[in-house]
Amino acid sequence: MHSNSGPAAPGERPPLTPSLTGAELARWYWTLAELTELARRLDVPRGGGKAALTERLRAALDGEPLPATAPARRPTAGRGLCAPVDGTTVIPDGQRCSQVLREFFRREIGPEFHFDGYMRAYIAENAGRTLAEAVAHWHDTRAAAAEPQPIGTQFEFNRFLRAWHAGHPSGTRDEALAAWHAHRSAPRHPAAPVGPAAPA
């Protein structure tokens, strides 16, 4: 699917076109908007997040079969909990983090309650458990929730800034942004970490 359309100068990011190889695509930073536009041009499915989209584009550019995509999850109709609920209420299969649940947890836990990753996962993965058990899960996970949470690989900009500021505690935002622009403009080595190294 790629052709000889004139390579970019060494060390210069090439244009994002169907003439790239999958390996060359992976060497550079691209925004989700850029990848989505290329996927549209190649008639490649655009859902599933940046990492999945990149893998599909790499396969398409190299003329290989596209990786299997997970089927879209359809919402479960008519199964969500309705008020009133209490601690003995059982979480049904397909329950969402709804306003009914939010109001219940705020009554039981207090105004500090919010649906974080721990609670969203608990509601999604624990059909058959009670809301009282969900409240206990909230309290059991507060120490872990207070720790810095890993940033998903799709949020490379945020991951870079966190790593840069850890290595440059007195650095300014302008310096961090300049470092980010230099980072995203350079080719990446497959084994290189996403964040910058701390200064020696």
pLDDT of residue 95: 92
Residue 76 pLDDT > 60: no
Q: What is the mean pLDDT of residues 166-188?
A: 85
Instruction: Quote the CA–CA distance of 162 and 167 in Å, as a whole number.
Output: 9
Determine if the pTM surpasses 0.75. no
pLDDT of residue 192: 40
| Segment 85-142, tens digit of pLDDT | 999 999 999 899 999 999 999 999 999 999 988 898 899 888 899 999 999 999 999 9
| Segment 9-67, tens digit of pLDDT | 556 788 889 999 988 888 888 888 889 999 999 999 987 778 888 999 999 999 999 88
Other Cβ atoms less than 10 A from the Cβ of 104: the count is: 22
User: Residue 90 gets which letter from DSSP?
Assistant: B
Chain position carrying tokens 């999604």: 124
CA distances from 69 to 53, 66, 94, 133 (A): 10, 8, 21, 34
Give CB contacts under 8 A, 24+ apart, made by 141-150.
Answer: 144/118, 145/116, 145/118, 149/117
